Amino acid sequence: MTEAAALETVDVTCVFQVSQGLLRGSKPLRAVNGVSLKIPRGRVVGLVGESGCGKSTMANILLGLQRPSSGDVLYSGDSAAGFSRRQIARRIQPIFQDPYSSLNPTKSIESIVSQPLRIHNVGAPSEWSARVGEMLDVVGLPRRVASSYPSQLSGGQRQRVAIARALIMRPEVVICDEPTSALDVSVQSQILNLLQDLKEEFGLTYLLISHNLAVVQHMADRVAVMYLGRIVEEADSDTLFNDPRHPYTRALLGSVLTPEPRLGVPDTHLGAVFPNPIDPPPGCTFHPRCPDCMAICRSEPPRPASDGGHKTECHLYGGAGAPPTATHRGDNP
Amino acid sequence: MSGTILEVENLSVDIPVAAGMLHPVRGIGFTVSRGETLCIVGESGCGKSLTSLAIMGLLPKTARRNADRMEFLGRDIRNLREREMARLRGGSMSMIFQEPMTSLNPSYTIGNQLAEVYLRHVEQSRAAARDRAVFLLEKVGISSAASRLGQYPHQLSGGQRQRVMIAMALMCGPELIIADEPTTALDVTIQAQILHLLAELQREFRMGMILITHDLGIVARVADKVQVMYAGKTVEEGPCETVFDAPMHPYTQGLLRCIPIPGRTRRGERLGSVPGIVPNLVGELSGCMFRNRCDYASDACAGLRDEPTRMGDGHAYTCLRAPEEVLGERQPAEAP
């Protein structure tokens, strides 16, 4: 890929110091551990993984809400260091999971949607109301809701308000963090359709963070699977869903419950114990839960291997060898 | 029938609110037999959770419950006194709630909370309660169960907490388990594990189970019987395979079209949707409540009586459209 990605992370690591209690000092928690991810312009990249794997920390880093401990974020090829928080917000906007808590209950819809305009001082205040009206049209809400409050709207309507707020500054990239998880099935499909339409209309680029793989497969061109702060597999959507390689990806895909009777509940053969991220297992961090665990997995972290655009980080693929450049075990930055 | 555990007929719940009388559940009925899983599926506000609370006798004080029949193990439970109902709850019928975080008491240990149910319902022996707790914790897949008894809920992960909730529901060997959205707050991998576990335990202990969910994927995988609820009524019911293979009610069909299915829906393809919103259930209601969102609605729908169309083998739907009409149309839609 020669074109500059709309958004790119280069070996980003984010370490939090977690207190172990009084007198016991603190330990580092590597929420994101050496992640390089490219989000090409006009594409939808899906990021999947269990809770606690670092997906939301990634979102915060990309939004400029969290400074990475090391590594860099590139906006259209330019380092994040050159941008202020406000400039980043002009390019990248979030849509969060829960429209019940992401909208201020004491503000009217007009005030919520026009807030980015006020903050960035765009245009004359007299035009704001008209722009809010246009935005409401775009997301399929009647203009009269402008004077309503979030509590008067349904979940689907609130999520549309959140989308209107995210798009009013015409950002390049929208980070959708579980945009439909809190919604009913019939509303979920409406929001997904709306996100598709808006992508065409405004030429948007999405990072879609979700644990619902059916949704990710439906929306994303490319998918990255995250486990304990690392991207363990990354490939084009079709490749990943047709030929999943990493045992974790296979377990994730096996856990998707599609509405097809007679199949029963799959047994994922995945141990239940999500490892403690403060004290990750040695070697491949997935090995305690892995059905295909080999001796080498317990001692050596796997090296990323790439086959065309299909990247996998697993000893089953690509030879064993020296650990990746970012060591897995805890040196304090 | 000897295998029947719970039989409910024409159950309704009314709650007085400022604007008048709210009718969240409007005459639903079902039976659950030993070893059988009934899934009640519907969107938020359709009355599925209130139905389960009505069975357990846990409705808010202002709510009124009416039923032509409510028999649990052959015993009429409509007019049981609170004390008698409390003896059943947690004993022979128990419940698993959605949020394992909020339904466990953060200030008591796991062991304490597990033992409490047992001491209350079965026998006053701490040692026996402890043994039972360890046995069940192992059963639900919690490692080093004995040492977990002294732990507090916050020391467990979400999946482990839900496993503890399941163990707690099983402490007194219930005949019936009501699980209200047991996996909604969990990750996909954990969700599959918990459902797998529930299905296994249910088979092993021959319990009846009512599983309440909004997720049709879960329904398809675990249900024996399905009941689709909309606006407080059953719009379609029947054996799981039949309902998914040949959905008859426009609402059921609409819901199934909303879900992207890997391998079947193409990427970026427009998903089906059910436009419109759930109607207000306050005041006098008449006719089919789905008519304002239905593609097939006609004037006649405003006067629809509650006579379900029966298709045989227990499959029934409440809609004016004739079976031939629905079935005749499906062929082109199902072609891949």
CATH number at residue B249: 3.40.50.300
Whole-number pLDDT of residue A326: 38
Whole-number pLDDT of residue B264: 79
CB burial of A151-187 (b: ≥16 within 10 Å; e: otherwise) equals: eebbbbbbbbbbbbbbbbbebbbbbbbbbbebbbbbb
Residue numbers of chain B with a pLDDT score lower than 50: 1, 333-336
CB burial of A126-147 (b: ≥16 within 10 Å; e: otherwise) equals: eebeeebeebbebbbbeeebbe
* Helix segments in B171-281, DSSP class H: 188-205, 216-222, 240-245, 250-257
Cβ contacts of B159 on chain A, cutoff 8 Å: 272, 274
Separation in Å, CA B309 to CA B133, B230, B305, B322, B323: 47, 16, 11, 8, 8
Residue written as token pair 């909303």: B258
CA of A275 to nearest chain B CA: how many angstroms apart?
10
Angstrom distance (rounded) from CA B52 to CA B8: 11
Angstrom distance (rounded) from CA A52 to CA A65: 18
Query: Is the model's pTM score more than 0.90?
Result: no
Domain boundaries, chain A: 7-312
What's the number of domains chain B is made of? 1
Whole-number pLDDT of residue B190: 82
Residues in chain A: 333
Q: Angle at Cα A68 formed by Cα A63 and Cα A71, nearest 5°?
A: 110
Nearest-CB residue to A257 (from B192, B199, B240) = B192
Cβ contacts of A258 on chain B, cutoff 8 Å: 217, 220, 259, 261-262
Cβ–Cβ of A184/B43 closer than 8 Å? yes
Q: How much is the mean pLDDT over chain A? A: 88
Residues 6+ apart with CB under 8 A from B200: none
User: E-assigned strands of chain B?
Assistant: 4-17, 20-33, 37-41, 64-66, 69-72, 75-76, 93-96, 176-180, 208-213, 225-230, 233-239, 309-310, 316-317
* Preferred mutation among B189, B200, B209 to probe A, highest tally of A CBs within 10 A: B189
* Preferred mutation among B193, B216, B241, B277 to probe A, highest tally of A CBs within 10 A: B193
Angstrom distance (rounded) from CA A83 to CA A67: 12
* Preferred mutation among A141, A257, A278 to probe B, highest tally of B CBs within 10 A: A257
Residue numbers of chain A with a pLDDT score lower than 50: 1, 320-333
Domain range holding B131?
A: 4-334
CB of B177 within 8 Å of any CB in chain A?
no
Cβ contact B275:B12 at 8 Å: no
In chain A, the residue whose alpha carbon lies closest to the alpha carbon of B272 is: A189
Put residue A20 in one of left, alpha, beta given phi > 0 → left and psi -120 to 50 → alpha: alpha
Cβ–Cβ of B214/A184 closer than 8 Å? yes
CATH class of A7-312: alpha beta
CA of B197 to nearest chain A CA: how many angstroms apart?
9
Q: pLDDT (tens digit, 9 = 90+) per residue, A206-226?
A: 999 988 888 999 999 999 999
Q: How much is the mean pLDDT over chain B? A: 89
Cβ–Cβ of A218/B220 closer than 8 Å? no
> Across the strands, what pairs with A298?
none
